[in-house]
Amino acid sequence: MIRTQTVQLNSIEGVAYRQKLTAGGSGITVITANDKAVATINKRDGSFAHYGKVNEKVFTDEIFNEAVALTNGLPYRLLGSVQLTGFENKEAKTVENSSDAQEDTEKADVTVVCSKTYDDFIAAYTDKNGKFSYQLMNKDLIQFASKSKKVTELINDKRGDDEIVRYIVNIKASNLNKGLEMDDEGTKAFVELLDSMEARSAFKELKVWLREQMKRK
């Protein structure tokens, strides 16, 4: 599956990870030694909603809020399912089934997360705590876009902000990966995966900047 590394929770004896749901969007999975629960994340406000059957007496809002906070900014990887086997010296012990990593996973997503282009892009905007910085990414993408003649042409042509974002991300990713550009399908999957990692829109600041430039034309 496409998910983050697991994080250990303090509000319950368990672990959590953020994942890209096969139905679309992102979700939070919380696992204990005896049970697990999943919630979807609302892209508008970052709130969560239970996904499927959830024992709300065990998996409280406090637990999901902690899981959302701890997994925020962790990059997606192609990883297998997780089982919590217990604790040793208060550290969670988990077992990962790597053989099922690609089950129910979109081929385009697998191609993205297993690529050097993705690794280089994530590394370029990862902070000292190992978390992907959307603030740093947006700042850099805006700086690039403000100097790009091609982006200016796209703005003058009144192209949609999603199309322009895909162009900017593709060129920046290419620059980080020695000039290797992605095709349209690959760029779309790349952008969608980055966007699904963030509780809200990953490119919010960049889109706001683009819309401001369009208003001036």
pTM listed for this prediction: 0.85
41, β-bridge pairs: 48
Asked which of 20-29, 85-94, 147-156, 199-208 is least confident by mean pLDDT, the reply is: 85-94
Condensed to tens digits (0 to 9), the pLDDT of residues 113-131 reads 999 999 999 999 999 888 9
Q: Do residues 77 and 125 share a domain?
A: no
Nearest to 203 by CA among 176, 181, 172, 178: 172
Q: Do residues 157 and 180 share a domain?
A: yes
Q: Do residues 16 and 29 share a domain?
A: yes
CA 160, 188, 5: angle at the middle one, nearest 5? 125
Q: Do residues 37 and 74 share a domain?
A: yes
* Residue-level pLDDT at 123: 95
Number of domains within the chain: 2
- Please say if the pLDDT value at position 107 is more than 90: no
Q: Do residues 72 and 163 share a domain?
A: no
Rounded CA gap, 37 and 28, in Å? Answer: 8
Q: Are 35 and 58 in contact (CB under 8 A)?
A: yes
- Please say if the pLDDT value at position 163 is more than 90: yes
* Residue-level pLDDT at 87: 83
Q: Do residues 119 and 199 share a domain?
A: yes
Range of the domain at 81: 2-104
* Residue-level pLDDT at 51: 87
Condensed to tens digits (0 to 9), the pLDDT of residues 13-65 reads 999 999 988 777 889 999 998 899 999 988 777 788 998 899 999 999 999 99
Q: Do residues 170 and 75 share a domain?
A: no
Q: Do residues 82 and 141 share a domain?
A: no
Q: Do residues 16 and 61 share a domain?
A: yes
Asked which of 7-16, 80-89, 138-147, 160-169 is least confident by mean pLDDT, the reply is: 80-89
Condensed to tens digits (0 to 9), the pLDDT of residues 180-217 reads 788 899 999 999 999 888 767 889 999 999 999 998 87
- Please say if the pLDDT value at position 94 is more than 90: no
| Beta strand residue intervals within the chain, DSSP E | 2-3, 7-8, 15-20, 26-31, 36-41, 48-51, 77-78, 81-88, 91-97
